[in-house]
Amino acid sequence: MKTRTLGNGLRVPAIGYGAMVLSPGTYGEVDDARGEAAIRAALDAGGTHVDTSDAYGPDGHNERLVGRAIKGRRDEVTVATKFGLAVPEGEPSRAQPVGYAFGELRVNAEPRLVRGYAEHSLRNLGIDVIDLYYAHYPDPGVPIEETVGAMAELVRDGLVRHIGLSNLTAAQLRAAHAVHPVAAVQTEWSMWRPIDAELLATARELGVGIVAWSPLGNGFLTGTVTALGEDDFRRNAPRFSAENLAGNNNRYAPVRDLAVSLGITPAQLALAWLLHQDEHVVPIPGSRTPAHIEENLAAADLVLHEDTLARIDDALSRFKVTGATLL
C-alpha cells in the first residue's frame, strides 16, 4: 500500500479504514463477528489506519470492537479516535448545529474533561497510546485553543501521539495550530460533497493533512445504493429519500459509466479522484464487506491521467444532486 504524510510527520496508508459502519444503527445490518472480520480484512489489505470514535455505537461499542480486532497486531495499526460527543452523564453540553439528519449534536470539549475522555478510549481500545486523537467537533462554548491545550498535555504525557481536529473552520484550524501542531483535519469530502475551499487552503499553508470522511458519499457513489432497509440511518437524509434517490442515481450514471470505461468500479473512481485532489488527503472509506474493503484499498494504486480527471470533473459539474446530506 502506498503511503502519504499527514501533518507533523505522521505517515499513514494512502487509504485508511473507517469503522463507524460496524456499529448498529448506521448503514444496514451488522454483527460483532462480522465487524471484527471486516477490520482484520482491512489490516490484511494494508488499510492499517483505522478510524473510530467514542461516540460510534452505544457505550464505546465501536472502540471496543476495534480493540478486539487489533489485538495482537497493535504495532501494525495507526489508531485514530475522537472525543467530545459522548458527554459523561451529569456534565453540561452545548448544541452544535450540524444539518438535516442529526439536527444538532451535543458537545462538551472542555479542557477539564479531555484526559478522562482519552483514558476511557484507551480502556475501550485496550491500548496504551492513541496514535491520532481528534476533537470530534469544536465546542461552541469553549475556545478551540483551550481544547487543544488540554490535548497537548496528553501528547506531553504520552497518552496521545498526534493531534487531530474534525469538522472545524479554517479560522479554528489556524488558532489551534498556533497552540500545538495539528497532524490532521477530518472533514467530509467526496465527489458529491466539496471541501470548504478556505479550510483546504489553510491546511495546505500550515502543512496539516486532510482525512476525508464519507469519501464514498455514504455509499451512494458506489452506485449500489438503490433501496434502504428500515433501520438504515441514511433514510434521514433527503438525498437518500425514496423520491430523490432514483433521480440522483440516474443523473450520476455518466460518472459510473466513466468508471466502467476505465475498467474500475465507481467506488474506486471516487477514491482515486479524491487522492488526485491533494497529495496530503487520505480517504477513510467504511465497509462491512471484505471484498469491498479490498476493492477500495486497491484504489490507492490507480493513476488518473489529466484528461481523465478533466472528463470526471466535467461529468461532476453536470451532476445535480437533489436533497441535503446527512450532516
Ligand X SMILES: NC(=O)c1ccc[n+]([C@@H]2O[C@H](COP(=O)([O-])OP(=O)(O)OC[C@H]3O[C@@H](n4cnc5c(N)ncnc54)[C@H](OP(=O)(O)O)[C@@H]3O)[C@@H](O)[C@H]2O)c1
In the complex, the residues that contact ligand X under the rule CB under 6 A are 18-21, 27, 51, 166-167, 186, 213-219, 222, 224, 267, 284-289, 292, 295-296
CA 325 to chain centre: 15
By beta-carbon proximity to ligand X, the closer residue of 8 and 167 is: 167
CA 316 to chain centre: 22
Strands 49-51 and 78-83: parallel
Scanning 45-157, the segments in alpha helix (DSSP H) are 61-70, 111-125, 144-156
Q: How far is the CB of 299 from ligand X (least distance, A)?
A: 9
Q: Does the annotation mark 27 as catalytic?
A: no
The answer to whether the Cα torsion of 264, 267, 273, 276 is positive or negative is negative
By beta-carbon proximity to ligand X, the closer residue of 85 and 310 is: 85
By beta-carbon proximity to ligand X, the closer residue of 112 and 133 is: 133
By beta-carbon proximity to ligand X, the closer residue of 99 and 310 is: 99
- Separation of alpha carbons 190 and 194, rounded Å: 6
> Residues with Cβ < 8 Å from 164, sequence gap 6 or more?
80, 82, 132, 133, 134, 135, 182, 183, 184, 185, 186, 211
Judged on CB neighbours under 10 Å (0-12, 13-18, 19+), 318 is exposed
Indicate the Cα dihedral angle 36, 61, 3, 305, nearest 10°. 90
C-alpha cell at 70: 487489533
CA 248 to chain centre: 23
Q: How far is the CB of 86 from ligand X (least distance, A)?
A: 13
By beta-carbon proximity to ligand X, the closer residue of 114 and 271 is: 271
The amino acid at 264: I
Query: Residue 155 in contact with residue 164, Cβ under 8 Å?
Result: no
The closest residue (CB) to ligand X is 18
Q: Which of 56, 117, 133, 252 is catalytic?
A: 56
Q: How far is the CB of 15 from ligand X (least distance, A)?
A: 10
Spatial CA neighbour of 148 closest among 158, 129, 168, 163 = 163
Query: Residue 121 in contact with residue 81, Cβ under 8 Å?
Result: yes
C-alpha cell at 119: 483514558
Tell me which residue has cell 484550524. 173
Q: How far is the CB of 239 from ligand X (least distance, A)?
A: 12
Q: How far is the CB of 17 from ligand X (least distance, A)?
A: 8
By beta-carbon proximity to ligand X, the closer residue of 156 and 226 is: 226
Residues annotated as part of the active site: 56
